[in-house]
Structure 1
Amino acid sequence: MSSLRHRADPRLDAYLDSARDCILDLGWRRTTLTEVARRAGVSRMTIYRAWPDMGSLLGDLMTREWVAVAAATRVAADDTTSPAGIAAAALSTVRALRDNELFVRIVELDPDLMLPYLLHRRGRSQEALIEILASEIASGQAAGAIRPGDPVLLARTLTLAGHGFVFSAMTMTDDRIGLTELDAEYARLITRTLEP
């Protein structure tokens, strides 16, 4: 059986739900495919047929989780083809990721799991988010609302800026500057970057 990225199988969602519960309860390091199988009420081999190891399962879980967050925040946005609309949707995504219980748990207990995606390579989740953003930028360009430029380059640039606001925003807050002020500057950064 192939990974979630290659097929839509509702059973895999149930297994990913069990994995999510395990990570929330135990953390990544203490979660095993055996424990996921136990919680899902299936044999170990059923889980091993879907994912050869915890790394591939985590990749599918993070992709499902983060892309769902981005999709939900964009559905809630009024307009994602104007600079201000894209900024509002991006800020909503950043805030939702910062508050996501799976994200928070991984960062609290196993932050090193995120390092490859920040230092060495883009993951499927990042690629999916960049694709969504590039599509919105291209639509805005076609309408004349967004400045010319390679939509993928612009999307990658904004995603790179977003990493800091997801992972490090709290390091820049204190009694003088709060998260609300920083978030407003992130929205302004996006808006000004995209304006014609």
Structure 2
Amino acid sequence: MDRSRHSDDKILDAAQSAVLDLGLRNTTLAEVARRAGVSRMTLYRRYPDIDALLTEVLGRQLIRVVRRNAGLREEAGGGRSARQLLVSGTVEVVRAFHGDLLMHKILESDAEFLLPYLTREFGPLQHYALDLLSVRLEQGHEDGSIRAGSVALQARTVLLTAQSFVVSARAAGQVPMDRLLEELTEMLDAYLRPGEDRPEASDPEHSV
């Protein structure tokens, strides 16, 4: 790792530590500079304001969570189809977000900070997730475990669904997270399942 990258990581680590201790609203560039052992001018040259720094901190952590929990190294086969891997990987990422200390802190006290991630065009995190989903979707089209369709559209639909379970799950009140994730699993699996594997509408077991 070059010196510049090491310095950047040191600053981002210091900022993340400040957020966990103080919350977003009480984290300042001066506090981050103190924790990172750098001058304020060093931070001002790299970040125009505290929001720009915290956005980079959040983006780095979110990508880390996705990378660690998406089951990237597991190959389809051996009894598990690409659809099963995509669904389980997506659900585990959602679960990991709810267990991540930084994400938990933000959702608890400053959830509005996430609004730009949800209401603007997709950023680096979403594009990273879309790339991962696209690979699994293509594998699922090849092995027949995922219904035919536009990879781009299916990837975006899965991402938006998972994103809603990350940000809006607290609105479900007293429903346990495990129960919500079970429903997310069923929802994604049903959405991606090929037509011949879908329950018949006339099946009384699946009728309303």
Structure-2-length-normalised TM-score:
0.80
Q: Deviations over 1:68-95 (max 9, x none)?
A: 1111112477446611111111110001
Alignment map for 1:27-176 (pairs within 5 Å):
27-75=23-71, 78-79=74-75, 82-174=82-174
Contact 1:83 1:192 in 2 (8 A): no
How many residues are matched? 187
Separation of aligned partners in 1, 2:193 and 2:112: 36
Separation of aligned partners in 2, 1:74 and 1:117: 20
Separation of aligned partners in 1, 2:54 and 2:150: 32
Counterpart secondary structure, 1:148: coil
Moved more, 78-87 or 91-100: 78-87
Identity among equivalent positions (%) equals 34
TM-aligned CA deviation for residue 192 of structure 1: 1.9
Separation of aligned partners in 2, 1:82 and 1:75: 11
Question: Which structure 2 residue ranges, 5 or more long, are not aligned?
Answer: 195-208
> What is the aligned partner in structure 2 of residue 17 from structure 1?
13
> What is the aligned partner in structure 2 of residue 185 from structure 1?
183
Contact 2:71 2:85 in 1 (8 A): no
Moved more, 139-148 or 107-116: 139-148
Separation of aligned partners in 2, 1:149 and 1:59: 34
TM-aligned CA deviation for residue 144 of structure 1: 3.2
Question: CA RMSD of the aligned region, Å?
Answer: 2.1
Separation of aligned partners in 2, 1:130 and 1:62: 18
Separation of aligned partners in 2, 1:73 and 1:154: 20
Q: Give every structure 1 segment of 4 or more consecutive aligned residues whose post-TM-superposition deviation is greater than 4 Å.
A: none
Structure-1-length-normalised TM-score:
0.85
> What is the aligned partner in structure 2 of residue 3 from structure 1?
none
Counterpart secondary structure, 1:9: helix
Which structure's CA Rg is the greater one?
A: 2
Moved more, 109-118 or 13-22: 109-118
Q: Deviations over 1:89-146 (max 9, x none)?
A: 1110001001111111112221211122223443322222222212221233234332
Contact 1:137 1:146 in 2 (8 A): yes
